[in-house]
Amino acid sequence: MYAKLVVGSTGIPAVQAMRDIVRLCTSNTPTTALLGAFSTSSSVIIDSNPAGWTYVGSNNANDRPTVAAIGVSGFTASGSQCNLVLSAPCLESSALKYVALSTSFIGTQSATTNLFTMTGATSATSLGVLTNEGPRYFSPAANGANDTLTVALRVAANDVVHVIATPRGITIVNEGRGMQAVWEMSMSDVNRFYNTAPFVQYCHATSSNFTAETIIIPTSTSGVLTRTMMSAVFGVTDVNTGTFYGTYSPGNIVSNLPTLNIGSLFQTANNLRNNSINSIGAPRYQVTPVFLQIGALGHPIQSVTGTTNVYWTRPNAGFTGDSMLISGDVYTFFNCGSGYGIALKTS
């Protein structure tokens, strides 16, 4: 499923945007009729193949047992946030992948409180109680003070959000700004032994910023965060010590820069893929498969690409929506800002 969602001239409360996205990802027939916040006239469902995700629940009573209907008011409880939780099966593991969309602002939702995040978790209940949720940011302060926040997805005026969802993962791209994703990866023998779901959460909401937050669990701050990258793998055991980590960052983060044993997951500099040439000197783009290794815990390399159909590209390799031929297969290019782009198969 691929939906190009357009905000329009007025920002959207984050919870309303989250509801629209969840309706699309859990519908057998995704259409713009499911949109209550994004513009129905400007938004387009480009690939209407069902995404294959199932709604689990929410910590907000209005969003149980189903997502609130279009027109139901936004989440108004102060001092808390709203989450919407989804699940999907894995190719091999019997364990499910869980994804939560969460508002990034505590308090009454309005057209200016338009930041939200996407995280993974090892399990969830219909009441939105999450076990081992991946890292995300939330702010107790007025959202207006954090408009330049780099670590969350944004649905402010004129923003465009691309949602690409298959049973293997969900990718949300803020056009020209950044992306967040939860991607299934290849199963390792460690996953098989412990029967855990192999998936990674990757947050890079502002791709022009290559520093990483070291938070591994949801945390809050009244200040503006200046770093943008966060990532986690879920339910991993150090096979040499027996230590179990509910969430674990797949990159050694030293001085806010992710390094070591990360494969290609963390994008650490602007445009790592300059154009190349073929054997007769004709120009061609480079793309990179996504993979990582939690080598410090005794886990082998695990490839995202090949399970979830995604490649990293150079920034501005085309316009979002352009087709890319990669090893004989057609992918769609998405502009994630000045840092890089991604190519995805949308179903």
Partner 1 sequence: MNNEQIFTYFGHNTVYKYSGSLSELKEIQESTNNSFNYIIVSDVIYFVAIDPVLDSKAQLIMGE
Kindly list the residues in this chain that would bind partner 1 in the complex (CB under 8 A): 59, 125, 127-133, 214-219, 242-247
Q: Closer to partner 1 at the Cβ: 175 or 213?
A: 213
Q: How many angstroms separate the CA atoms of 198 and 183, rounded?
A: 9
Least Å from the CB of residue 162 to partner 1: 28
DSSP 114: -
Shortest gap between Cβ of 217 and partner 1 (angstroms)? 5
Backbone CA torsion sign across 207, 210, 215, 216: positive
Residue 345: strand, helix, or coil = coil
Specify the residue, 129 or 141, whose C-beta has the smaller distance to partner 1.
Answer: 129
User: Dihedral through CA 309, CA 206, CA 26, CA 97, nearest 10?
Assistant: 60
Q: At its nearest, how many Å lie between partner 1 and the CB of residue 291?
A: 24
Distant-in-sequence, close-in-space partners of 241: CB < 8 Å, separation ≥ 6: none
Provide, rounded to whole angstroms, the least separation between the CB of residue 134 and partner 1: 9
CB nearer to partner 1: pick between 164 and 297 = 297
Segment (H or E) for 24:
helix 14-25
Closest CA to 115 of 124, 106, 126: 106
For partner 1, the closer of residues 11 and 251 by Cβ is 251
Q: In this complex, which beta carbon is closest to partner 1, that of residue 135 or of residue 263?
A: 135
Q: Which residues contact 34 (CB under 8 A, 6 or more apart)?
A: 20, 23, 24, 27, 70
User: Quick one: which of 66, 199, 67, 71 has its CA closest to 134?
Assistant: 199
For residue 16, what are its two tokens?
A: 């309303």
**In the complex, minimum distance from the CB of residue 140 to partner 1, in angstroms, rounded to a whole number:** 13
Kindly tell me which of 219 and 275 has the beta carbon lying closer to partner 1. Answer: 219
For the chain, what percentages of helix, strand and coil (3-state, to nearest 5) are there?
A: 10, 35, 55
116 vs 285, which CB is nearer to partner 1? 116
Maximal CA-CA distance, the chain: 63
CB nearer to partner 1: pick between 242 and 281: 242
Comparing CA positions, the residue from 73, 86, 92 lying closest to residue 15 is: 73
Give me the least distance between CB of 307 and partner 1, in Å please.
25
Smallest gap from residue 251 Cβ to partner 1 (A) = 14
Nearer to partner 1, 51 or 99 (CB): 99
Instruction: Report the b/e string of 9-33 with b at 16+ CB within 10 A.
Output: eebbbbbbbbbbbbbbbbbeebebe
Place of tokens 């709203």: 82
Q: How far is the CB of 121 from partner 1 (least distance, A)?
A: 8
As measured in angstroms, the least distance from the Cβ of 305 to partner 1 is: 28
